[in-house]
Amino acid sequence: MSLAEPQASGPIGVFDSGIGGLSILNALREALPHERFVYFADTAHTPYGERSDAFVIERTASIARHLRERHDIKALVVACNTATAAAIHLLRAEHAGFPVVGVEPALKPAVAQSRTGEIAVLATRMTVESRKFEALRAPLADQAQFHVVPCDGLAGAIERSDAPAIASLCDRYLAAAGRFGTEPGRIDTLVLGCTHYPFIADEMRRIVGPEVRFIDTGAPVAQQTRRLLDQAGQLAGDDAAGDLLLLCSAAPEALDVAAARWLVLAAGPAFLADAAPGSLAAAA
């Protein structure tokens, strides 16, 4: 792998299995308005949450190499809970010394904010069944009761903008979590453990009510990315004009529609590229 030395003027790479990582990208662009970004959506293989570990590991490694080789990124944000759980340790080993930031369900912040000690966690099955998730939950087991629900099909429904399916799945999974409210014994905090889920927060709010606290990971991920770049002396100057390149492995028109709907574009211009060349677009 031939890699250029990271430069402060280089972009930050961000990737997800599909559109969910746009929620993280929004937070990154708000915190780092002068930075350039390259966002890669692996839309040919979304969602990752119902794929095998081996498949997710291979895709994550391939996309990381592509972003470093072709786009000279200076940091990588894995904006996918499933890919973080399956592959972040391998990425950090392969790219030692290179800033790699992952996302994970925000259990500790949820414990800090919950007053009833009852917390619901909605995420993909691969995330909640991973060793990384159990390592997050175990130290907090005596501080809160976690109602963990694997949400099969929900990320896919969000990718398709399938409103009836989204409504039905939200009803099902939130009912499976338990009773919501601020009274003792009820769930007062909801962890959105997939980067797709912030896009349907209004639908979830309809079900759980206005008093339940929602926790996602966008702001903490942006703060960690800024901290690592600052430590490395790689932050863009205040006179730099941030911009954005959107890439995908299939169906660029779908990413274009999703970006127009979900992405806050005020931080700079966005450019949508066609599907990535070679194996990144074609792998089955």
The CATH number of whichever domain residue 203 belongs to comes to 3.40.50.1860
pLDDT at 276 over 80: no
Q: Exactly one of 151, 170, 194, 248 is catalytic; which is it?
A: 194
pLDDT at 242 over 90: no
- Of 174, 199, 215, which closes a domain? 215
pLDDT digits (tens, 9 = 90+) for 121-171: 999 999 999 999 999 999 999 999 999 999 999 999 999 999 999 999 999
Strands in 4-104 per DSSP E:
12-16, 37-41, 75-78, 100-101
- Of 215, 231, 258, which closes a domain? 215
Amino acid (one-letter) located at 235: L
Q: Exactly one of 80, 151, 170, 248 is catalytic; which is it?
A: 80
What DSSP designation does 17 have? S
* Active-site residue, 194 included: yes
What DSSP designation does 276 have? P
**Is the domain of 223 the same as that of 210?**
no
* Active-site residue, 151 included: no
**Is 225 within the bounds of a domain?**
yes
**Is 40 within the bounds of a domain?**
yes
**Is the domain of 27 the same as that of 48?**
yes
Q: Tell me what pLDDT residue 253 has.
A: 84
**Is 2 within the bounds of a domain?**
no
pTM here? 0.90
Range of the domain at 228: 12-103+218-282
**Is the domain of 195 the same as that of 250?**
no
Three-state secondary structure call for residue 30: helix
Compute the mean pLDDT over every residue in the chain, rounded to the nearest whole number.
91
- Of 163, 195, 215, which closes a domain? 215
**Is 272 within the bounds of a domain?**
yes
**Is the domain of 130 the same as that of 194?**
yes
Strand order in the sheet with 100-101: 100-101, 75-78, 12-16, 37-41, 244-248, 270-275
